[in-house]
Structure 1
């Protein structure tokens, strides 16, 4: 799920846990973009080292699912969760375009620096829309097109992201530029109309 397919796990971990990233975009700032219910279910797409998973688990008594394709990253999350006595995290090895969740089963989806990995945004966002409960929230963090960050990840502009999110029936509620080179997009799944 992370964009370091040709790098070693230690290189990937070094970037994901780097001081520069933590200072530029603290996990708390991302998590402040959404309301966590006491028993809500949270899905962290491309969870990596647990950058958002672990602090999310501290904010809710509900289940936090860490989904990633890299088993080594998931094992790291499991070890850190045990060290921090966090018992509400469940790791899942899988792909973000085939989410192993029932329809309308998750209240919050976090997608930090991972959606640009998808060969096509539409199937991933359709899956997110499918698993979100009505009124559920999506928080996206991505790199700006003009970012000077020293890695070769592909870019999705805020405008492209908004269009892709809207196309699958999610309602974009905001954009922000919390740090140089990064943007966030927030969206909700509309309540069912009767």
Structure 2
């Protein structure tokens, strides 16, 4: 069973050190969130990425997590920030309770390696993204280091890319926000049809 991040360690996810390591604005820039997009943050935790995304779009930000404690924390932080378009959703990554083609952008940060059925989780992201929608997968580099999950639970970059292709995504490019994480930006093929 993969290691799952525990709610009692939530404040590790919203501190200044993490902001230096993973500047939220740089991640959101890579996702091209800049106005009206509806966004889903899968494994949102206390809102490290979800709240900055909500400051960048007027669309709905769906903050999904399986932990009610994390979602309560996120909800309170959103309330204090006046971000009333953040919608918290208690769910697992492989069973997203959103309609087909309901979001323009998706983020899954350091979650996929924890999911028992990774292929199902990626298919769910594909399902909820609109054609032409972009998805950023962030994961830990697969090598020993003093932080993060055990190395045997990590996903190598080429393994993640193969899984994304198998789920039906087109790979756009990689990002390396620091020397311990990688990101893969992909797109759901097709374009939104205009009436």
Could you say whether these structures have the same fold, taking a TM-score greater than 0.5 normalized by the shorter chain as the test? yes
Structure 2 CA distance for aligned equivalents of residues 36 and 166 of structure 1 = 23
1:147–1:181 CA contact under 8 A, matched in 2: no
| Equivalence for 2:168 | 169
TM-score, length of structure 2 as denominator length? 0.91
Structure 1 CA distance for aligned equivalents of residues 33 and 147 of structure 2 = 33
Q: Which of 103, 106, 109 is matched with 2:106 structurally?
A: 109
Structure 2 CA distance for aligned equivalents of residues 192 and 41 of structure 1 = 16
Q: Can you list the C-alpha shifts for 1:76-126, whole angstroms capped at 9, x where unaligned?
A: 111111111111100000111011011111110111111111113210000
DSSP-derived class of the 1:91 partner:
strand
Structure 1 CA distance for aligned equivalents of residues 147 and 127 of structure 2 = 34
| Equivalence for 1:190 | 189
2:131–2:192 CA contact under 8 A, matched in 1: no
| Equivalence for 1:136 | 133
2:24–2:48 CA contact under 8 A, matched in 1: yes
Q: Which of 46, 49, 57 is matched with 1:49 structurally?
A: 46
Deviation at 1:73, TM superposition (A): 0.7
Q: Which of 117, 121, 128 is matched with 1:120 structurally?
A: 117
Matches within 5 A, 1:91-106: 91-106=88-103
Deviation at 1:18, TM superposition (A): 3.5
2:41–2:62 CA contact under 8 A, matched in 1: yes
1:3–1:114 CA contact under 8 A, matched in 2: no
Change (3 A) 1:137 1:104: same
1:149–1:181 CA contact under 8 A, matched in 2: no
Deviation at 1:188, TM superposition (A): 0.2
| Equivalence for 1:40 | 37
TM-score, length of structure 1 as denominator length? 0.91
CA RMSD of aligned residues (A): 1.9
Deviation at 1:177, TM superposition (A): 1.7
Structure 1 CA distance for aligned equivalents of residues 89 and 73 of structure 2 = 13
Deviation at 1:36, TM superposition (A): 2.2
| Equivalence for 1:60 | 57
Structure 1 unaligned spans of 5+: none
| Equivalence for 1:158 | 157
DSSP-derived class of the 1:56 partner:
helix
Count residues with an aligned counterpart: 190
